[in-house]
Amino acid sequence: MRPPPNKLVHLIAALVLATVPLMAFSPDALAAEIRFERSELTVVTARGEHRFRVELALDEPQRERGLQHRPFLAEDAGMLFVYERPGPISMWMLNTLIPLDMIFIGSGGRVLNIAERTRPKSLDAIPSAGPAIAVLEVLGGTSARLGIRPGDRVVHPLVDGPGSRR
């Protein structure tokens, strides 16, 4: 027995509406919408220099997206969130699937503080310990593994040099 025509239309509409959000907002579709420039940076620690391949989050849509919906991150990869001027910065882990270390960077490229192994999908605010110009997100545990500490220096033109956005 077929449903009456108006119920059939409602059923088809419900099925279409139920699948469109999944297609339109899948992680693959989200990643395709926002593009990130790529760059390299170095973190200078007491143990030596550590190079990372990073994506640059330079504007608000990029900073809002960040590393959300990504199932993995290479050990030498990350994302550098760069802001127009130093100030308090607060991050969260909404829709972020992997634990991250958040390295807050102040003037001159100096590491202010590090939030290690942040909890995936958490809405808890993770603040900088003072005015920051940038945040480097890397795979959780990287800071401890490489010995990255407050006071260490991040070398990248957007955070420590004449071309910085400060």
Task: Say yes or no: 67 and 132 in one domain.
Answer: yes
User: Based on the structure, what is the number of domains in the chain?
Assistant: 2
Residue 3 lies in a domain: yes
**In angstroms, rounded to a whole number, what is the distance separating the alpha carbons of residues 23 and 17?**
10
Task: Say yes or no: 67 and 11 in one domain.
Answer: no
Task: Say yes or no: 13 and 41 in one domain.
Answer: no
Predicted local distance difference test score (pLDDT) of residue 161: 61
Task: Say yes or no: 28 and 100 in one domain.
Answer: no
Residue 128 is part of which domain span? 35-160
- pLDDT tens for each residue of 64-102: 999 999 999 999 999 999 999 999 999 999 999 999 999
- pLDDT tens for each residue of 150-166: 999 999 999 986 545 54
Query: E strands, the chain, where?
Result: 37-45, 48-57, 77-87, 90-91, 100-105, 111-115, 126-127, 132-139, 153-155
Residue 165 lies in a domain: no
Task: Say yes or no: 150 and 134 in one domain.
Answer: yes
- pLDDT tens for each residue of 100-140: 999 999 989 999 999 999 999 999 999 999 999 999 999 99
**Token pair belonging to 141:** 């545990």
What DSSP designation does 132 have?
E
Task: Say yes or no: 11 and 49 in one domain.
Answer: no
Q: Are 95 and 70 in contact (CB under 8 A)?
A: no
Output the pTM of the full model: 0.79
Task: Say yes or no: 74 and 122 in one domain.
Answer: yes
